[in-house]
Amino acid sequence: MESTVDTYHSNVDRRLAGAVERGQRVQILVDGCVETAFEGECVAVALLASGRRGLRVTARRGEPRGMYCAIGVCFECLMVVDDRQVRTCQTPVRDGMRIGDVAASTSDSAGTP
Ligand code: FES
């Protein structure tokens, strides 16, 4: 099932140029599309840097959600990573990770309306 999240994807790398020493370049698979990330980034930041602001939609209302607290408290960044629901702001990227929308795989376990 294809994700219903509006990704605002732009194919533009929004990372600061030259100002930050980054980890090794890795590739992640997001809703079937290959994206570039760097070791040391969390999944939510890697997606934000690739232009994706919406991470999931709520189960009941279909409303888009993105990174909000960025400290693991709100669960707004919940996504499915390698078949497990995780807070993407707390999950470091790994080469070959498969990432998708929660609504595309199961019901919304975060209980958000
Ligand atoms: S953005 Fe709040 S838990 Fe990830």
Structure tokens at 52: 């994706």
pLDDT of residue 113: 45
- Ligand 1, pocket residues at CB < 6 Å: 67-70, 72-77, 87, 89
pLDDT-wise least confident of 34-38, 43-47, 99-103 = 99-103
pLDDT digits (tens, 9 = 90+) for 50-68: 888 899 998 889 899 999 9
H/E run at residue 47: helix 43-49
pLDDT digits (tens, 9 = 90+) for 61-92: 989 999 999 999 999 999 999 999 999 999 99
Residue with tokens 């990432």: 99
Return the closest-CA partner of residue 2 out of 109, 100, 112. 100
Q: How remote is the CA of residue 87 from the centroid of ligand 1, in Å?
A: 6
Residue with tokens 């209980």: 111
Domains and CATH numbers, the chain: 25-99 (3.10.20.440)
Cα separation, 74 vs 4, in Å, equals 21
User: Is 0.85 surpassed by the pTM of this model?
Assistant: no
Contacts of 60 (CB under 8 A, 6+ apart): 108, 113
Task: Name the closest-CA residue to atom 3, ligand 1.
Answer: 72
Burial of 36 (0-12, 13-18, 19+ CB in 10 A): middle
pLDDT at 107 over 90: no
Residue 11's pLDDT band (boundaries 50, 70, 90)?
A: low
pLDDT of residue 6: 47
